[in-house]
Amino acid sequence: MPSDDTPAPAPDPASSIAVTDSPVVSEAESGQKLLQFLQRRLNLPPALLHRWVRTGQIRINGGRCKPFARVRRDDVIRLPPFALKMAAQSSGSAERDFAGRALLPERMAFPVAASPASLPPPVIVRAEGPIWAVFKPAGLPTHPGTGHSDSLVTRLAAHHAGATFKPTPAHRLDKDTSGILLVAASFEALREIQQAMRERAVIKEYVAWVRGRWPCAETRLLRHHLRKSFERGYEKMRAVKSSDNDHSAREALCLARPLRVQEQESLLLIRLLTGRTHQIRVQLASLGHPVLGDAKYGMPEDSAAGRMYLHALRIVLPRGEVFACLPEWPGGRALHALPDCLDLSGSEYPQVPDAGLSFERG
């Protein structure tokens, strides 16, 4: 179980933001492209920053530069004299925001809550240098969006306001999925995690309670082709037959091993082999075993269930670091010990039988 007794790593005083028109690149910011550095520091439109660089109003160590040049630790970045005022106005009218609170990561601009201290800080399950494993509770979005300003990103920004590089999620979890989410406290850590995920070198395992009696006693491969569609303005994934020659459909693969099998519901351990939108939820629903409480892909009564029983249990990085936490599930559905990782040393796994497999069309 996550615990508030695990505090966030103490910030490096040398990495706090200084209000100056010649900021110095910190170690946490090193390796970024200049345009990324400026967006994260100033939260101004990329087109404006690009123009300043092109016209020589922004320089690195006194010399002209290009927007995509890499900045390194201790580089001095000269800004136009009006940049700080524009950044303060952009962030919400207060200079103190430029000193920290509202300087936001690129592509994550959002209004910071009026009382950031009132938001509970993200629980750090484990930290390995600039790589943090954060517990994301069910119901909290990873990023802010239409209709909600509170999110994991919001809370990270509020509780690490003085950092030059705001701790940034390296991936995402669906709003109603709980569990481990990796956060990078430096640009190099962010790039390392995301590169490993692109190369499928990161192990990601989940646990899920599903409806019905799971038909297999051993580990099985779940293989589908998923296509994105929109219904009433909302994104929804659908399973389609590979023979449909649908070029927009992408293959989705994962492994499933039963941990508990009962007549009405079953507990599964799942390892993702691909990373598609809503993949686990769609694949299980297509097999006739939707995740309990999944209002989008499950049974009609799941819209009032109040909880979705899908939890990101464990992440293993290529160097062997393991980040894990148990779900906060009540009663007989609780999980009290970490199950062993799925073993991939054997031969290819058979697929789950097609019996009961229903393909949605639209």
Q: Which residues are catalytic?
A: 174
Helix (H) or strand (E) holding 229: strand 220-231
Q: What is the DSSP letter of 99?
A: I
Q: Shortest CA distance to 356 belongs to which of 255, 257, 212, 258?
A: 212
User: Could you give phi then psi for residue 192, rounded to 5 degrees?
Assistant: -65, -45
With tokens 């979005």, the residue in question is 141
Q: Shortest CA distance to 107 belongs to which of 172, 59, 63, 163?
A: 172
Is there a contact between 122 and 112 (Cβ–Cβ < 8 Å)? no
Based on the number of CB atoms within 10 Å of its own CB, is 250 exposed (0-12), middle (13-18) or buried (19 or more)? middle
Distance CA 206, CA 296 (A): 19
Q: How far is CA 26 from the centre of its chain?
A: 24
What is the token pair recorded at 312? 């990101």
Q: How far is CA 274 from the centre of its chain?
A: 15
Amino acid occupying residue 139: G
CA atoms within 13 Å, Cβ hemisphere of 305:
18
List 33's β-bridge partners, or say none: 70
Q: Shortest CA distance to 359 belongs to which of 254, 237, 248, 272?
A: 237
Q: Shortest CA distance to 110 belongs to which of 148, 84, 136?
A: 148
Helix (H, G, I), strand (E, B) or coil at 216: coil
Is there a contact between 230 and 348 (Cβ–Cβ < 8 Å)? no
Q: Alpha helices, DSSP H only, in the chain?
A: 34-42, 46-54, 83-91, 95-96, 152-159, 187-198, 279-286
